[in-house]
Chains A and B, each alone.
Chain A
């Protein structure tokens, strides 16, 4: 999937199959300072494991989760970036990163290790076309 589309999610809604229903998880918080990044990611992996069409949007402070490398053992924590790399293994390939959030933090595509960078308009489209959002 190259970019989010407005109509994609409404076409298959008449079925009850998880793979026909999209879930978008929005990740807005930096890793380690609280458990939202970790627990949000675990929820995303669970969505993928259950076969739901899962998308993840890293935005605002959430983009820090993708900065690599992270040496989380320094604070005796599970490595958030390493956990995020498991997303494709659980069939979560729609990983979006908000361009404006990167720019505000002086980050570029070279600094982050996953996801497709999308602009403001695409972020709006992604949100508008989602029927189920889990906010982390």
Chain B
């Protein structure tokens, strides 16, 4: 299934709540303010970054919406390697291929 998260990991539990229940088969798409959760913050490893890395290693796919990154001035190079940038068409494709969509907001 597809999970969308639109809140920043720094001020809202939405991403953490989502990561707590995602499965290896799932895809997670960060949109709107959710894209801040995709920033690579090494060396200080925040909980959500650790979780993204761990989940990614077991198969969960992570994405960010390009337009929202661009609007907020987040360069692709600043994002976690585990996260793939997709455009609006990519968002639609993820939604089409998923069994269902749960929105965390």
Contact = CB atoms under 8 A, between A and B. Distances in A.
Interface residues of A, number: 16
Given A28-B17, A59-B17, A60-B13, A127 B104 contact: no
Nearest to A126: B21
Interface in A42-84: 59-60
A121 to B, nearest CB: 10
B17 A124 contact: no
Interface in B1-57: 1, 13, 17, 20-23, 25-26
Nearest to B4: A135
Nearest to A130: B100
A131 B23 CA distance: 16
B103 interface: yes
Say whether chain A's binding surface is mostly helix, strand, loop, or mixed.
mixed
A120 B17 CA distance: 12
A127 B13 contact: no
B77 interface: no
A100 interface: yes
A13 to B, nearest CB: 11
B1 A127 contact: yes
A52 B15 CA distance: 30
Contacts of B103: 135
A100 B19 CA distance: 13
A23 B1 CA distance: 15
B23 A124 contact: yes
A131 B99 contact: yes
A120 B26 CA distance: 16
Given A100-B20, A120-B21, A127-B1, A135 B100 contact: no
17 contacts: A24-B100, A26-B102, A60-B13, A60-B17, A120-B20, A124-B22, A127-B21, A128-B1, A128-B23, A128-B25, A128-B26, A131-B99, A131-B100, A133-B101, A135-B102, A135-B103, A135-B105
Interface of B: 1, 13, 17, 20-23, 25-26, 99-105
